[in-house]
Amino acid sequence: MTARITARELFEQQRERLDLRWLAGEEGGTRVLESGDTVSRRPSLAGYLNAIYPNKVQILGTEELAWLDGLDSRLRWETIAKIVGFGPLALVISKDQPCPEDLRIAAEEFGTPLWTSPKRGHELLNHIQYHLARTLAPRVTLHGVFMEIYSIGVLITGESGSGKSELALELITRGHRLVADDAPEFTQIAPDVLDGTSPEMLQDMLEVRGLGVLDIRQMFGDTAVKKNKYLRLIVHLTQPHLDVVPGGIERITGDLGVRRVLDLDVPRITLPVMPGRNLAVLTEAAARAHILRAKGVDPAAAFMARHSHFLERSS
């Protein structure tokens, strides 16, 4: 999934927070910035004015404007033409400093969005860099029900009809929270963090066979839903094969594995769906066991060590 943002969208999304005003180059509002190789190389998504490796959003603070003022008229015009000629997504002047007329003319001529803000340069840099990085981060849509169970994000997956929605509904009645049903979207906002959210159309909704679409917020209250959560565990529901008998080590450690999501390996545990099994309790136990393993506690390893010690002592 390729993420993108236009200059107009960035302006509207940050307008109120940064008190932005558009000075020139409004026709450049359709300029597009997309995720991919162009935003992973040396130029940053946002940064102070750089005429060698131009940032996607160039911020002009007091020092940058003073540097321009120190150039002779010919070199100044050539530098300004070079800056707008790179085609940045936008130029932003900090602290409501007066906009140089030649810069405004060049921005208007080249269709380069030119904004101003009363905020200091580092505030503009932090907000715009974070917003662009999150908006353009790699993302993927997975099939399943994403929930918060004991404060960690758990994705419930399985084939159609395996009981994912029924399990989610029972977990909600046990006090856990729904993030997204059917098509949660995951964004890699950091090298080791996948943030899961719900598409706007599916927000707060859960589809259960026989009951139809349920509005979880209206039925169970605001505490039964959550806007986003980091993905930490996948619980996969599967129909057991009668001719396959679990091995001894699997009986001790559980059916553990990993699933590759974008650039991360997410722990996955497989639960067989059989009559009489309380999947809600098993899923809660899987979440608790994952929390213990994250703290360095491994009951399977402790049991095998205890067993080895017992054999050595017996011999």
Active site residues per annotation? 143, 164, 182, 251
**Which residue matches tokens 């402790």?**
302
Count of CA atoms in the C-beta half-sphere (13 A) of 32: 6
| DSSP secondary structure letter of residue 200 | G
Mark 273-301 as b/e (b = at least 16 C-beta within 10 Å): beeeeebbebbbebbebbbebeeeeeeee
Tokens describing residue 301: 């390893």
**Which residue matches tokens 């067989």?**
272
Number of Cβ within 10 Å of residue 103's Cβ equals 22
Contact status, residue 249 vs residue 215, Cβ threshold 8 Å: no
| Count of helices and strands (H, E) across the chain | 10, 18
Contact status, residue 263 vs residue 138, Cβ threshold 8 Å: yes
Count of CA atoms in the C-beta half-sphere (13 A) of 2: 9
Contact status, residue 204 vs residue 217, Cβ threshold 8 Å: yes
186 Cβ neighbours under 8 A, 6+ residues apart: 139, 140, 141, 142, 194, 195, 196, 231, 261, 262
- 10 Å CB burial of residue 133 (0-12, 13-18, 19+) is middle
Find the helix packing angle between 73-85 and 101-110, rounded to 10°: 40
**Which residue matches tokens 């994952």?**
290
Helix (H, G, I), strand (E, B) or coil at 253: helix
